[in-house]
Every structure is written in C-alpha cells, then in structure tokens.
Amino acid sequence: MSARKRLVLKIGSSSVTSDDGGPDRELLDRLAREVHDQMNEGWDVVVVSSGAVAAGWAAIGEGKARPVDPGLLQAVSSVGQHRLMSEWADAFASVDRTVGQVLLARLGEADRQQYLHAEQTFAHLFALGVVPIVNENDAVADDEIRFGDNDRLAALVAHLIRADRFVMLTDAAGLFTADPRLDADASLIQEVSEIDRSLELVAGGPGEGATGGMASKLAAARIATWSGVETVIADARNVGVLAAIEGGNASVGTTFHPRSSRLSAHKLWIAFALGSRGQISIDAGAIRALVSEGGSLLAVGVVGVDGDFTSGDAVEILGPDGELVAKGLSQLDASTSKNWTLTSGEQTGGVVIHRDDLVILAGSDV
C-alpha cells in the first residue's frame, strides 16, 4: 500500500465570504466535496480557513462598515470563529467527513514548540480520517490579525507536516504579469522556478479591502518552496480546481516549484516566522565569508548596528549598499554590539551570529 500524500489547502476570507458578508455555504459545500474526493485518492488534507472576522461581523454588524480597530476585530473574531467552524462542519458532514478545529496562536520563537506539538495532533487526526480546520487564534493575537497572516501560517503548517503540495485558493486565477483589472494585456504566469525581486514587484502590495493580497501569498509561497513543497495559487471559484491541479493542468493557476534543498525547521523559523528586532551592516569580506564560505558572522566584519535587540533576537544582516544578505539570531545585545563598529579594527574574531543560527537570504526579501 502506497504512502498517503499530504495537502495544505488555504482559503482566503474573500473567497469563503458571500455577498451578505457571511460564509458562502455553496462554495464551502463544493470545496468539501473536492477535498473528500482528494482524500479518496490518497491525500490527507489540512484546510486553513480565513473568514472568522467576516462571519462574526455578518452576525453582529447590522450592515455597518467593517471595523479596523484591532481590539474590536479580535472580539468580532471570537463571535465568528465558531460560526465559521459550524459551516465547515456542516459542509463536510454532507460527504460524511468529520472536522477537527486546530487554533494556532501568533507566530514567535516561543510558539515554535506549539507547532511541533501540533504536528502530532495532525498525525492523529489524519489517522482518524478527520479533516483538520486551522485558523490563527485571532481572539488572542495582536498585530497579526491586521496583516493576513493566515497565508504565512498555512505555509508554516505545510512545512510542519512535510506536505507534498500547498494550495492557496483566492479570488484571483493566480499571479499575473500585471494587475488584470488595470491591464488588458496581463497574462497568467503559469510556472515559477524562483521567487525574485521582479515577481515581488509584479505582486505589489496588499489587496484593497482585504487583510491579505498577492504579495502576502507570494511571501507564503516562498516559505513553502524553501520547505520543499510545491505551491499553487488558484481561483477558489474554479469548479474542480483541486482535481485540475492534481491532473497537471498548467492553466489552472500559478505553480511554484520547490527548491531542491529543504530548509531546516530551525532556519525556516528564523527566516520567516520571527520578526526582526534590528539590523547589522557588514562589509564585503563578511559577505564572502557568509555566502561563499558558509561561515559564521564575526565581529571583525560588522560596520554598523541599528535597533534595540537583545541576545537571541532575530536581526537582519545588510550589505554595504543596504541589500538584505541574511538573517540570524544574535549572540550579543545591541548595546554591546555597537562597540563593534568602534573597535572593529582591533577585533580578529568573536562570533556575532553562529552559522547554525543564520540563513542566507541574498536575492530575497523576507
């Protein structure tokens, strides 16, 4: 018997929401059937669903404009979370599938253990034939509720369970060469081998009226592909979308091919889950030592320090022109490290960031 494959399916808030602001039951029913079909074909599926705030506001907002205050959004999310789960439970019940809710808190180094424990929960749910429905725990989150963090969360889950495929369903058919709403000549980018600056410029900033956007999805695609996971962005309203992706239909969306080398869990967490608390500027010699020789960052290569970080915090490493070179966990705090620039001529060693806690990001933008 062949091993089952694993799929993480992320559905955006704009896709699961109907015109009245509540969950789109017709779409949820269809996606439940498609997930059911994929499970019958040998896939274990995790569904990461946005839409709790929309569901909550539809219940209590009385037609008013959606609030923007983070504290109020958290309260609204607490109203909508169980409503959204109830809709998903009913949708999967129609195909005789049971769902289980998995709430994950905000992303931080201290919360990495939570994700490692969650890996066991997912494995047990798969063994029971249950469909995990994941959302960020918005009711106790802070800044993340404003930035569409479910894209990043879904990518980290894909890494965690060693998914074979990560699919983000949204209200767009994929990544285009330009905004198709503004440029009639815009065409779908069907395949991407490497996410570079030109693609980031194409993706632009966050979408209007939504917490996520194509830029957010591109960032999530980078996390997943650096984790060795094939990633697809496709239209949630495309009937049969999961079967089309499985069948290799290139026109169904944008497929991002995984990198050949899979980033370790520790380094992926440093690169993508931890917020940067400062910046360290280095000289050309230090760049060579990091990028070409695989070395640690030594004090002798440091030419500037910015921020108020402490030992163990994540910091960005910048080159002479301000370009992002790497990111890592500093072994010293900022007040101590500022002496590096004053005494750099006298220093011949001293590890600032060990290579085991450092991720090369040259040519990338986390």
Across the range 172-189, mean pLDDT stands at 86
As a whole number of Å, the CA-based R_g of the chain is: 22
Work out the percent of the chain whose per-residue pLDDT is above 90: 47
Tokens 């129609």, residue located: 94
The CA-CA-CA angle for residues 203, 208, 209, to 5°, reads 140
**Phi/psi at 62 (5° precision):** 50, 45
Q: What is the mean pLDDT of the chain?
A: 85
pLDDT at 274 over 90: no
Residue 88 is predicted with a pLDDT of: 96
Q: Name the maximum alpha-carbon separation found in the chain.
A: 72
Least Cα distance to 258 among 154, 155, 169, 355 occurs for: 155
pLDDT tens, position by position, 221-256: 999 999 999 999 999 999 999 999 999 998 899 999
pLDDT at 73 over 50: yes
Helix axes 214-226, 150-160, angle to 10 degrees: 10
Least Cα distance to 78 among 98, 106, 59, 100 occurs for: 59
Least Cα distance to 205 among 156, 273, 148, 252 occurs for: 148
CA distance 236 to 133: 17
Write the CATH number of the domain with boundaries 5-266. 3.40.1160.10
DSSP state of 345: T
Of the listed ranges 134-138, 264-268, 318-322, 342-346, the one predicted with least confidence? 342-346
Domain 275-360 architecture: Roll (2.30)
Confidence bin at 150 (pLDDT 50/70/90): confident
- 41: tokens are 């074909």
Classify strands 131-136 and 165-170 as parallel, antiparallel or unpaired: unpaired
Confidence bin at 185 (pLDDT 50/70/90): confident
Burial of 22 (0-12, 13-18, 19+ CB in 10 A): buried
pLDDT tens, position by position, 190-215: 999 988 777 877 777 544 333 457 88
Across the range 39-55, mean pLDDT stands at 93
Residue 155 is predicted with a pLDDT of: 92
278 or 341, which is more confident? 278
137 or 319, which is more confident? 319
- 8: tokens are 């993480």
Where do the domains of the chain lie? 5-266, 275-360
